[in-house]
Amino acid sequence: MAEATLDETSEATEEEFVEAAEVFLAANAELKPPVRAAFGEGSDEIALLPERTPEEDAVEVAAAKAWAQKVFDAGFGWITGPRRYGGRELPKSYQALYTAAESRYVTPSQGPRGIGLGMIAPTILAHGTDTVKDRYLRALYRGDIIACQLFSEPGAGSDLASLQTRAVRDGDEWVVNGQKVWTSGAHFSEIGEILCRTDPDAPKHKGLSGFIVNMHAAGVDVRPLRQMTGGASFNEVFFTDVRIPADHLLGEVNNGWAVALTTLMNERAAIGGGGAGTTSGGSELRRLIALARHLGVTGDPLIRQEIADAWINVQVARYNNDRALAKIRSGQLPGPELSIAKLSLTQNLRRTAELAAHILGLRITADSGEWGTFAWSKFLLGVPGMRVAGGTDEVMRNILGERVLGLPKDPPVTR
């Protein structure tokens, strides 16, 4: 069978679609070798956040873009998207089928594109002008460009609506001045979604507007932020008289809070339901169990209890994500499942990190050269960042309590 193209498989049945995907993958990638879980073999890297040099970032970004372009051109880059922007308009179940097929092959990491596809592209599709949609959606899904999210500020994190970055209308442009912080991937992004204050006299939720900004425009200054792990995955970004075309507005002027909510809901869904590795916790726990056996601490009843508790919670999170995926496959929208997923993720990461610290003791504080011990320190130090990203644990508990369980809101702060 010849390699499938977009037009040939647009109306494919699920069986035909999977067959075409397998043909494409077999022609362009290698099957993953069997996983060997022997303790002490291979790399013991277990960092939760990327720890790459700029040169390593550049290599990963180039590989991610090249693979995305190949996948898109074969018709598998935006399976559920509108045809106008290069999509297939197929049911969400087809995306799950392709993802499952690709997971069996060795392909370049798409980590650098995660924010753009998981958060920015859905917001553009929902709120962008025709100009913005035509210019950026196909490019994002094809891997021609990468996007970042410019929301948080030094004085506006969980209370995002108190942000102070200003955008002032000047003819057919908006002029932006201010500072953003904790921006992942800003250093290799071509565009960003920025939230600005456009009416300083309006109530703080009412005077905001969202825009798409060119990250290479004059006046944009990206500076890396060093994490306590030693890496620099995040950035602070300064905007000095940066000009944005008026048609790059997202939604209506001063209705940016609705735009932000679209992005934030997609962000929490992406973080909470992202799958294995740094999200489910199952692979990390298996490594910890092997480590506990190696160190001879599996007879400790407290360690055994912590392992059991962590494993149970990981399985519950997995079942919750499976339930959400089942709804998506049947054409429904997931409800509380994705609200739960983000908080469940960070709590499982916390349990895993604490278990690692209890198993390792002093070994986690200094590098003795022993395989699989000090490597856990980067995981431990990365967990606090995950508990802040996409909404703090406290914010997520309030959302679940008020919007899912219907509990009364916290009393307002008395000024």
Measured CA to CA in angstroms, residue 12 lies from 7, 94, 98, 103, 227 at distances of 10, 10, 13, 21, 47
**Of residues 315, 341, 343, the one with CA closest to residue 327:** 341
Of 267, 284, 306, 337, the catalytic one is 267
**Of residues 55, 57, 180, the one with CA closest to residue 112:** 57
Assign 176 to helix, strand or coil. Answer: strand
56: number of Cβ within 10 Å: 11
**Of residues 50, 191, 68, the one with CA closest to residue 123:** 191
Q: Compute the distance between CA of residue 100 and CA of residue 114 in angstroms, rounded to an integer.
A: 17
Note whether 331 and 91 are within 8 A (CB). yes
402 belongs to the catalytic site: no
For 110-155, the DSSP string reads -GGGHHIIIIIHHHHHHH--HHHHHHHHHHHHHTS--EEEE--BTT
What φ, ψ does residue 340 adopt, rounded to 5°?
-75, -35
Q: Which are the contacts of 191, defined by CB distance < 8 A and separation ≥ 6?
A: 120, 136, 145, 146, 147, 148, 212, 213, 214, 215
The dihedral region occupied by 196, where left means phi > 0, alpha psi between -120 and 50, and beta the remainder, is beta
Quick one: tokens of 125? 């599709």
Note whether 186 and 237 are within 8 A (CB). yes
Q: Compute the distance between CA of residue 328 and CA of residue 123 in angstroms, rounded to an integer.
A: 19
Quick one: tokens of 50? 């990327």
Note whether 220 and 237 are within 8 A (CB). yes
Q: Compute the distance between CA of residue 332 and CA of residue 326 in angstroms, rounded to an integer.
A: 9
Q: Compute the distance between CA of residue 44 and CA of residue 30 in angstroms, rounded to an integer.
A: 24
Pairing, β 208-214 against β 173-180? unpaired
Q: Catalytic residue positions?
A: 267
